[in-house]
């Protein structure tokens, strides 16, 4: 099984982290991982197509947010919480608070009124 | 002079704010505005082409980060700091701390080592 690449936490930029978190599906994955130690891709994909989810997991890994390891045929994912909190103190907390603060914040989109 | 459109702060999503902040030029603008009450586009553009800067200012306005008003022929910009802090408490602080925490963090990019 091929090795899964992860950046060193010092090599990720704040721009990369913010970009990775600027997508509702990726935010949903991070929010789920925040509440658990580790989860399989299947447990996190919300029934979405594997191809698009692979992309989202790669963006999250490249931004230093998620660590993925092989376990048999499954991929197990964990948030790099402690490392991220050391590199960007308070950032993940503030983002996830923002997601939760407003009911439905995660799925909230601009209404037609705002266009 | 045409009216400049701004969303109500309740209509912006956390994803929009994070996306707007995921670009080094836009982060630089926000960081400069953090340290002042108001600044013209010229004072914020770092000598970059007007066409690309117009795009960046529009992304920042659409995300509820920046308020722009006409003053004669100039556009004056201000951070919507209080409103943002009410809507997404601690978020802007955490992002700007992350930008400042590492020397050169704003311009830091992945090294060839990480590829």
Q: Which of B13, B18, B27 sits opposite A109 (nearest CB)?
A: B13
Q: Which of A7, A27, A88 sits opposite B98 (nearest CB)?
A: A88
pLDDT at B102: 58
**B interface with A, Cβ–Cβ below 8 Å:** 7-8, 11-19, 21-24, 27, 87-91, 93-95, 97-99, 101-102, 105, 108-111, 113-114
Position B46 in a domain: yes
* Helix or strand (DSSP H, E) at B76: strand B74-79
A9 falls within a domain: no
Q: How far apart are CA A102 and CA B72, in angstroms?
A: 38
* Domain total in chain A: 1
- Answer yes or no: is pLDDT of A105 > 50: no
The answer to whether residue B69 sits within a structural domain is yes
**Would residue B39 count as lying in a domain?**
yes
CATH number of the domain that A64 lies in? 1.10.10.10
pLDDT of residue B38: 96
Q: Do the bridges between strand B39-40 and strand A66-71 make them parallel or antiparallel, or are there none, so unpaired? A: unpaired
Q: What local confidence, expressed as pLDDT, does residue A114 receive?
A: 36
Please tell me the distance from the alpha carbon of residue A111 to that of residue A106, in angstroms, as a whole number: 14
The verdict on residue A42 lying in a domain is yes
* pLDDT score at B1: 56
ipTM above 0.90, yes or no: no
Q: Mind listing the pLDDT tens digit of every residue in chain B (115 residues)?
A: 578 999 999 999 999 999 999 999 999 999 999 999 999 999 999 999 988 999 999 999 999 999 999 999 899 999 999 999 999 999 999 999 998 875 444 444 433 333 3
Residue B113 lies in a domain: no
Query: What is the layout of strands, in order, in the sheet containing A66-71?
Result: A39-40, A74-79, A66-71
Per-residue model confidence as pLDDT tens digits over A44-77 = 999 999 889 999 999 999 999 999 999 998 999 9
Buried b / exposed e along B82-92 (16+ C-beta atoms within 10 A)? ebbeebbebbb
Whether residue B21 is contained in a domain is answered as no
Residues of A with CB under 8 A from a CB of B: 7-8, 11-19, 21-24, 27, 87-91, 93-95, 97-99, 101-102, 105, 108-111, 113-114
Residue closest to A16 by CA, chosen among A73, A77, A84: A84
Residue A64 is part of which domain span? 32-99
Which residues lie below 8 Å from residue A87, measured CB to CB, with a gap of 6+? A9, A10, A12, A64, B98, B101, B102
Q: How far is B92 from chain A (nearest CA, A)?
A: 9
Residue A89 lies in a domain: yes
Give the integer Cα–Cα distance in Å for A84 and A65.
Answer: 7
């Amino acid at each position: 099984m091929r090795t899964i690449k992860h950046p060193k936490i010092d090599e990720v930029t704040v721009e990369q982290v913010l970009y990775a978190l600027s997508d509702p599906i990726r935010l949903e994955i991070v929010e789920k991982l925040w509440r658990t130690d580790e989860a399989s891709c299947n447990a996190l994909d919300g029934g979405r197509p594997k191809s698009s989810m692979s992309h989202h997991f790669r963006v999250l890994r490249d931004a230093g947010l998620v660590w993925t390891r092989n376990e048999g045929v499954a991929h197990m994912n964990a948030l790099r919480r402690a490392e991220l909190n050391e590199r960007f103190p308070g950032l993940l907390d503030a983002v996830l608070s923002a997601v939760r603060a407003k009911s439905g914040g995660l799925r909230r989109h601009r209404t037609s009124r705002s266009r």
